[in-house]
Amino acid sequence: MNWLTSFFVWMGEFFGNGANWSGPGGIPMRLLEHLEFSALALLLAVLLAVPLGLAIGHTGRGEVLIVVSANLARALPTLGLLVMFVLLLGTASIWPVIIPLVLLSVPPILVNTFEGIKGVDPELRDAAYGMGLRGGQVLGRVLVPVALPLILLGCRLSAIQVVATTTVAAYTGLGGLGRYVIDGFATKDYASVVGGSVLIVLFALVVQLLFALAQRVTVSPGVSQRVNVR
């Protein structure tokens, strides 16, 4: 029986056997764990990167941090960071997994937020000041709405990356959909490996669709048209 047949058997067992939908090893629990890790890491990354990107893009100070962040995004090894923080912090909590995920998530959000604010038409910025708006008002009422598509793009890229790399949480004995992949490799149950991978891909696609919906709801149609024209 080849791996494809094994995969369909594995999926049939999970979707046909009620026992596989309950308990700590069931799909709902693994999915909830994966969502918990991903959401916490993304939330912390947004809280760190968006205010910093807004400040640097608005003031023009600290642009070297953007360059460093962009380079780090290409250089940081996920598994290496995970092992380092596990050695430093142990495995008694989820933080050895969350911290590397946050570090990997910050650069795309920071860079896109900065580029979004910096890329606003200078004439639009000058017009806002000419209307009597102050620095914070210009940022909040003019720059952020125009830059919102790029900010959301950075968040979406980070979210998809986090969902994919949260799989490494299983290396530390924690849960998530990565358990199917790691345990499958350990037991040579390759149907489980493929099944877990498919579930992770589907989860990432759902996240991407949710961000696309969020952009449709939150971004002004005029701004969207302007971005599409560019």
Per-residue confidence (pLDDT) for residue 8, from 0 to 100: 67
Q: How far apart are CA 56 and CA 126, in angstroms?
A: 18
Residue 74 domain flag: yes
| Angle of the 27-59 helix axis to the 178-187 helix axis, nearest 10 | 120
Is the pLDDT score of 16 beyond 70? no
Is the pLDDT score of 225 beyond 80? no
Is the pLDDT score of 17 beyond 60? no
Q: How far apart are CA 63 and CA 82, in angstroms?
A: 28
Side chain identity, residue 94: I
Domains in the chain: how many in total? 1
| Cβ pair 159, 174 in contact under 8 A | no
Domain that holds residue 224: 38-229
Rounded to two decimals, the pTM is 0.84
pLDDT, tens only, 60-96: 888 887 877 777 766 777 777 777 887 788 777 788 8
For residue 132, give the DSSP letter.
T
Residue 18 domain flag: no
Q: How far apart are CA 89 and CA 95, in angstroms?
A: 8
Residue 10 domain flag: no
| Cβ pair 108, 158 in contact under 8 A | yes
Residue 193 domain flag: yes
Range of weakest confidence among 21-30, 115-124, 208-217: 21-30
Task: Give the domain CATH number at 46.
Answer: 1.10.3720.10
Residue 15 domain flag: no
Residue 29 domain flag: no
Residue 178 domain flag: yes
Q: How far apart are CA 54 and CA 110, in angstroms?
A: 8
CA distances from 140 to 24, 36, 55, 133, 135 (A): 45, 30, 11, 10, 9
pLDDT, tens only, 195-204: 788 888 889 9
